[in-house]
Amino acid sequence: MQQKIIPSLWFDTEAEDAANYYLSVFPDGKIHSITHYNDAVPSKAGTVVTVEWEVLGMRFVGINGGPQFKFDEAISFQIMCEDQDEVDYYWEKLTADGGEEGPCGWVKDRFGLSWQVVPKGMDQLFSDPDADRARRAMEAMLKMRKLDIAAIKAAADGVPA
């Protein structure tokens, strides 16, 4: 089934650079199309307007719209990771070359786009029927930047750090 909703990301001038960056971070990616301004916009004729790409089966569009809009944390993309190696991989890739670490598994990439690098199973820990176990897991997570699965599980189980 074709994806009905495609996130459109506003860049100043770096949509093509961003698409290539995301293709280097996520597996199985490809660029679907690149459009250029034509002579209807003489000052920009020939420069990239949009880039459509796909990573992990999800399509995105980047538009070079100018400097007036910037990304903020109100929108983020969540990466569900299978294990700590995958958490570490995405954390390293997204913080490289000007990315920024944030609290509780959040990171901004070098373009300012926010990501949540989340291990699979965290929602079950945080909603555990044992309220104390859920609280301990949440408290441990709130102290972290990059999430440490073993440390969160140990905290949930009441194992001292």
- DSSP structure class, residue 128: -
Q: Burial letters for 19-29: b for 16+ Cβ neighbours within 10 Å, e otherwise?
A: bebbbebbeeb
Domain pair 1-67 / 71-161, same fold: yes
Tokens of 98: 């000007």
Q: Would you say domain 1-67 falls under CATH 3.10.180.10?
A: yes
The CATH architecture that domain 71-161 belongs to is Roll (3.10)
Q: CA of 17: how far to CAs of 11, 13, 50, 51, 128, in Å?
A: 10, 9, 11, 10, 42
What is the chain's pLDDT, residue by residue, as a tens digit (161 residues)?
Answer: 688 999 999 999 999 999 999 999 998 999 999 999 999 988 888 999 999 999 999 999 999 999 999 999 999 999 999 999 999 999 999 999 999 999 999 999 999 999 999 999 999 999 999 999 999 999 999 999 999 999 999 999 999 77
Query: What sections of the chain are H helices per DSSP?
Result: 15-25, 84-95, 122-126, 131-142, 149-156
Run of H or E including 116: strand 114-119
Q: Please report the pLDDT score of residue 10 as a whole number.
A: 97
Q: Please report the pLDDT score of residue 27 as a whole number.
A: 87
Domain ranges of the chain: 1-67, 71-161
Residue 65: which of 83, 85, 51, 79 has the closest Cα? 51
CA distance 7 to 17: 17
Interval 68-111: pLDDT, tens: 999 999 999 999 999 999 999 999 999 999 999 999 999 999 99
Q: Please report the pLDDT score of residue 44 as a whole number.
A: 85
